[in-house]
Amino acid sequence: MNLRLIPRDNDLGWTPFAWLIYVVPFTLTPLYAQRHANAAGWTLHVAVTLVFLVLYFRGYWVRGRELILVAAAMVTLGVAFWPVSLGAGAFFIYGAAMLGQLEPPRHAVRGVVFIALLPTVEAMFLRRDLVPALWPVIFTLLIGGINIHFAQVNRGNARLRLAREEIEHLAKVAERERIARDLHDLLGHTLSLVILKSELASKLSERDPERAREEIRDVERISREALAEVRAAVAGYRSGGLASEVQHARNALSTAGATFEADVAKLQLPPAHEAVLCLALREAVTNIVRHAGARHVRLSVAAVKDVCTLTVSDDGRGGDPPFGSGLNGMRERLEILGGTVTRDGRRGTTLVVTLPLSQPAIQEQSA
């Protein structure tokens, strides 16, 4: 069984043991006071010192009302033994140090001031010289005030630690959400295409085996590309650029039996903006393949001054269903960069993505 005198606290360290120096004059009173230089005097002072030590170390483990009781017991020792030994003035100091931990600070200040008055009042009551009472008064106010200050500092540091832990927790949650969005954007489109081609190969297996074999080879190729994309995503270099994503969209829509028309300006975009546009296009094409039943799809990408716009329209079912995880993930990414996404489902579906740019994009040529 591991018994500890003080709690584990890197801020405390060994200092609680150093503060015991103040009780030494009281314990050694029989050495310099002849009337106590006997067995009874030594027994009394050692016994009181042991009681003090119990209260002292207990004070490091308690808070609130129990801390007040411990400090009161410590001050009682001072009041009781101040007439016997001037060294007992240290008990007032220890009591004030404990009350310095109280919350709110105004209670701690009142407690310290009250304790500081006791040696003076007791000296007046006993008609003793007030000069010897000055040292416990001064040190009570000094040590009590220092402890009030550092208690405030420690509470502020504790709040900062809690805030930092909360920020770290929120960062982890945001990272998990980002990974979930990335997995959806990365694999949702590819797996939809694999399913589509696999179904087509199954239907063609009897009447057109050669075409079925081509589709299966496409499934293999797409699967290898997906594996490469996953590896690239882990390395942090997922997107192959907007031109590559347009070609992927063309292949996916062709497999789904839809024609694809693209009017994409070749723009020099910041990498973060281009990556978000690629993911937006991938999500739009995935939704068209899965849900729209469209026969024709049109894509346009253009930049006017400091705004880049991507528009994907189809002649499919349209409607206004609620945003799913893919579109919500797209919107979150765009909002980080100050962009927007809107959808119009009155005639087919038209998805419009806008991204503000820090400076006008350079348009090299149209294709």
Outline where DSSP puts E strands in 133-225: none
* Mean pLDDT, range 355-365, rounded to an integer: 64
Output the six-digit token pair for 117: 């008055």
Handedness of CA 337, 327, 196, 211 (dihedral sign): negative
Domain stops at, among 114, 140, 167: 167
Confidence of residue 362 (pLDDT cuts 50, 70, 90): low
- pLDDT at residue 365 tops 50: no
293: left (phi over 0), alpha (psi -120 to 50) or beta: left
Q: How far is residue 184's CA from residue 92's CA, in Å, rounded to a whole number?
A: 67
Query: How far is it, in rounded angstroms, from Cα 256 to Cα 347?
Result: 20
Distances, alpha carbon 102 to alpha carbons 137, 155, 251, in Å = 20, 11, 71
Query: What is the model's pLDDT at position 216?
Result: 85
Domain shared by 162 and 20, yes or no: yes
Closest CA to 316 of 337, 295, 302, 332: 295
Task: Establish if 247 belongs to a structural domain.
Answer: no
Residue 224 within a domain: no
CB atoms within 10 A of CB 123: 20
The C-alpha angle 278, 282, 287, rounded to 5 degrees, equals 150
Please count the other Cβ atoms lying within 10 Å of the Cβ belonging to residue 236.
6
Same domain flag for 262 and 136: no
Q: Which domain holds residue 45?
A: 15-167
Token readout for 69 is 């009781």
| Cis before 104? omega within 30 | yes
Residues 279, 156 within the same domain: no
Same domain, 158 and 270: no
Do residue 277 and residue 160 come from a single domain? no
- For residues 138 and 144, the answer to whether their CB atoms sit within 8 Å is no
pLDDT digit string (tens) for 14-50? 888 888 998 999 999 888 887 888 898 899 999 999 9
Continuous segment of H or E residues that includes residue 302: strand 296-304
Chain mean position to CA 56:
37
In what side-by-side order are the strands of the sheet with 259-268? Answer: 340-344, 349-356, 307-314, 296-304, 259-268, 362-366
Domain end call among 139, 167, 195: 167
Indicate if 155 and 284 belong to the same structural domain: no
Q: Would you say residue 112 has pLDDT above 70?
A: yes
Number of domains in the chain: 2
Per-residue pLDDT tens digits for 174-222: 667 766 766 666 677 677 778 887 888 888 887 888 888 888 888 888 7
In a shared domain, residues 138 and 270: no
- 217 falls within a domain: no
Retrieve residue 174's tokens.
């945001």
The residue among 167, 187, 205 that closes a domain is 167
Q: Is 75 a domain residue?
A: yes
pTM of the model as a whole:
0.51
Residue 322 maps to which CATH number?
3.30.565.10
Tokens of 234: 């882990």
- For residue 185, being part of any structural domain is answered with no
Q: From 33, 27, 20, 5, select the one nearest 88 (Cα to Cα).
A: 27
In a domain, 191, yes or no: no
Greatest CA span in the chain, whole angstroms? 120
Inside any domain, residue 206 = no
**Is 50 exceeded by the pLDDT of residue 264?**
yes
Residue 342: inside a domain, yes or no?
Answer: yes
